Amino acid sequence: MAVVVCLQVDPINPKRMLAFLNHFIVHTTSFLNRFSVICEEKLEDLSVRLQRLETTVCLLEAKVAGYISNTFVEMCRNDSMAPGSLCQK
């Protein structure tokens, strides 16, 4: 294995170093932009799915509330004449 002494190695050409740096910045920026777009698309999809879920839950709550109130009304109709009934007027 060869030993490299840093003082004996020529420095990197500044133009070449600048080209490497520009290449790195361009590719990193491109990656971050694509990543950002993908994240925004996924968040938008998740938002739509959550809105659908909220709507479904609201509809189910309304159905359950309607079922419970209808059941209670039917019970009162059937049980209104019984003494000690909860549904007495």
pTM over cut 0.75:
no
List pLDDT tens digits, range 70-85: 776 776 776 655 555 5
Length of the chain: 89
Query: Residues near 89 by Cβ (< 8 Å), separated by ≥ 6?
Result: 80
Neighbours of 44 (CB within 10 A): 10
Q: What is the pLDDT of residue 68?
A: 78
List pLDDT tens digits, range 5-53: 777 778 889 999 999 999 999 999 999 999 999 999 999 999 999 999 9
**Which residue ranges make up each domain of the chain?**
27-79
CA-CA distance, 71 to 77, in Å (whole number)? 10
